[in-house]
Amino acid sequence: MKNADLLKIAKTYGNPVYVYDSEKIISQFNRLTNAFKGVKRLRLNYAAKALSNISILRLMNSLGSGLDTVSIQEVQLGLMAGFKPESIIYTPNGVSLEEIEEAAKLGVQINIDNLSVLEQFGSKHPDIPVCIRINPHVMAGGNSNISVGHIDSKFGISIHQIPHLLRIVELTQMNINGIHMHTGSDILDIDVFLYASEILFETAKNFKNLDFIDFGSGFKVPYKEGDIETNVEELGKKLTDKFNTFCKEYGKELTLAFEPGKFLVSEAGYFLAKVNVVKQTTSTVFASVDSGFNHLIRPMLYGANHTIENISNPQGRERYYSVVGYICETDTFGNNRRINEISEGDILCFKNAGAYCFTMASNYNSRFRPSEVLWHDGKALLIRERESFDDLVRNQVDVKNLFTSEKAEIAVK
């Protein structure tokens, strides 16, 4: 997107504001689809958790994407956005049997990641096909918080528990129609994918009625200039060969599924915030914006490096700044960043703000969550209003008179 478009959006809708470029989402979707064009049956299930605004979900649906969900609420959002139940996969972790049954009632594909629930669900509903999430014991992912396929991870059923899993399947007579893994996010090395895929293929041989194999996600996208990204084209070629060979051996054309979040929406997102204060201290120059980790937590949570640009003064002399938020704790978006000279009132643009940004926003410090705008066909469309004070207090129950003198008298009597 052009700076002028972003500045106009900030002027029209105020700041801070999230902006999503539909063209980038579409091109990423097409790129991934193309990379796997050698697979007869490919399914991309967009990971709703990355960015779950209903208008974004509608865009994904229009592209022919399926939906990967992790909560009953995400399932409901997906249905509301027009996804057919059969194109939604529900991959929860640590949720109650009741929630899984609720999702099953809605007709979505169930994915179970522990033996306890598998046994209970299979005993009660042997006719509902179930996918199982395997933990392949592979260390992958760009940060320990997003490495989820290793031996100490809470996710998936260990490959060492396959004998127990098979016994449950046999005793309950349940139907396993899919097998799944997700080893982590920001995986750089495609050999990790390929290695884990071998484990998945080996495991898949134990099940006779599979319809699909789901390789999860974890594609790394570039965050700054010169950054490395997952080579999806190379992965596409190599995994396609392995997959097609496996299908021949298996004797059936299976669906190859992925559930990308970051790959589809990260680079499409821009977060715009206004500089309230430029503060020179003895050691640095701080630029404080009208936002904080309540709106964009990834730098504080994962050490994520979002490129920050001063779109109000793109030709200005570059200087070093620490860009910080207004939250009353350490709240740093980036230290020692070279940014075009900043003045109070300038609009800073944070890149890669599409994935895990708005969806992780909170009301911490009793701030409103920002608005969201979709940039589509050269037009800006508001897809979420900025919160108001009413939103902040909507669900609070005010015990108005409990602490007044009137009430105290009543208590004494």
| 321 backbone dihedrals φ, ψ, rounded to 5° | -135, 150
Report how far residue 310's alpha carbon sits from residue 285's, in angstroms, rounded to the nearest whole number. 15
Residues 120, 146, 354, 112, Cα dihedral to 10° = -10
User: Which of these segments, 214-222, 291-299, 309-317, 346-354, binds ligand PLP (CB under 6 A)?
Assistant: 214-222
User: Nearer to ligand PLP by C-beta: 302 or 326?
Assistant: 302
Residue 356 marked in a binding site: yes
The percent helix, strand, coil of the chain (3-state, each to 5) is 35, 25, 40
- Concatenate the DSSP letters of all residues of 183-248 into one string: -BSSB--HHHHHHHHHHHHHHHTT-SS--EEE----B----STT-----HHHHHHHHHHHHHHHHH
Report how far residue 129's alpha carbon sits from residue 118's, in angstroms, rounded to the nearest whole number. 11
| Least spacing, CB of residue 376 vs ligand PLP, in Å | 22
Cα R_g (the chain), whole angstroms:
24
| Residues 339-378 contacting ligand PLP, CB under 6 A | 355
Dmax over CA atoms of the chain, in Å, equals: 84
| Residues 219-238 contacting ligand PLP, CB under 6 A | 219
**With CB under 6 A, what is the number of residues at the site for ligand PLP?**
16
| 349 is known as an active-site residue | no
User: Nearer to ligand PLP by C-beta: 93 or 177?
Assistant: 93
Burial class (CB in 10 A: 0-12, 13-18, 19+), 137: middle
User: Nearer to ligand PLP by C-beta: 43 or 262?
Assistant: 262
Residue 82 marked in a binding site: no
Residue 298 marked in a binding site: yes
- How many other C-beta atoms can be found within 10 angstroms of the C-beta atom of residue 188? 16
Assess 109 for contact with ligand PLP (CB under 6 A): no
Which position among 92, 122, 178, 260 is part of the footprint of ligand PLP (CB under 6 A)? 260
User: Nearer to ligand PLP by C-beta: 76 or 93?
Assistant: 93
Report how far residue 214's alpha carbon sits from residue 238's, in angstroms, rounded to the nearest whole number. 16
Residue 28: CA atoms inside 13 Å, Cβ hemisphere, count? Answer: 27
Residue 223 marked in a binding site: no
**CA angle, residues 343, 371, 81, in degrees to nearest 5:** 150
Contact of 83 with 67, CB cutoff 8 Å: yes
User: Which of these segments, 32-40, 188-196, 203-211, 216-224, binds ligand PLP (CB under 6 A)?
Assistant: 216-224
Selecting among 247, 328, 349, 357, the annotated active-site residue is: 328
Which position among 55, 61, 65, 91 is part of the footprint of ligand PLP (CB under 6 A)? 91
Contact of 217 with 262, CB cutoff 8 Å: yes
Assess 239 for contact with ligand PLP (CB under 6 A): no
| Least spacing, CB of residue 65 vs ligand PLP, in Å | 13
Report how far residue 29's alpha carbon sits from residue 50's, in angstroms, rounded to the nearest whole number. 14
Residue 321 marked in a binding site: no
Which position among 119, 211, 259, 309 is part of the footprint of ligand PLP (CB under 6 A)? 259
Assess 50 for contact with ligand PLP (CB under 6 A): yes
Which position among 65, 71, 114, 217 is part of the footprint of ligand PLP (CB under 6 A)? 217
> What's 323's DSSP letter?
E
Cis peptide bond upstream of 222, omega within 30: no
User: Nearer to ligand PLP by C-beta: 182 or 306?
Assistant: 182
Assess 216 for contact with ligand PLP (CB under 6 A): yes
- How many other C-beta atoms can be found within 10 angstroms of the C-beta atom of residue 38? 14
| Least spacing, CB of residue 237 vs ligand PLP, in Å | 20
Which position among 32, 44, 68, 325 is part of the footprint of ligand PLP (CB under 6 A)? 68
User: Nearer to ligand PLP by C-beta: 50 or 308?
Assistant: 50
> Distance from first CA to last CA of the chain, Å, rounded?
68
| Residues 123-182 contacting ligand PLP, CB under 6 A | 182
User: Nearer to ligand PLP by C-beta: 219 or 358?
Assistant: 219
Residues forming the active site = 328
Binding site for ligand PLP (CB under 6 A): 47, 50, 68, 91, 182, 185, 216-219, 259-263, 355
Annotated binding residues for substrate: 298, 302, 329, 356
Annotated binding residues: 218, 298, 302, 329, 356
Annotated binding residues for pyridoxal 5'-phosphate: 218, 356
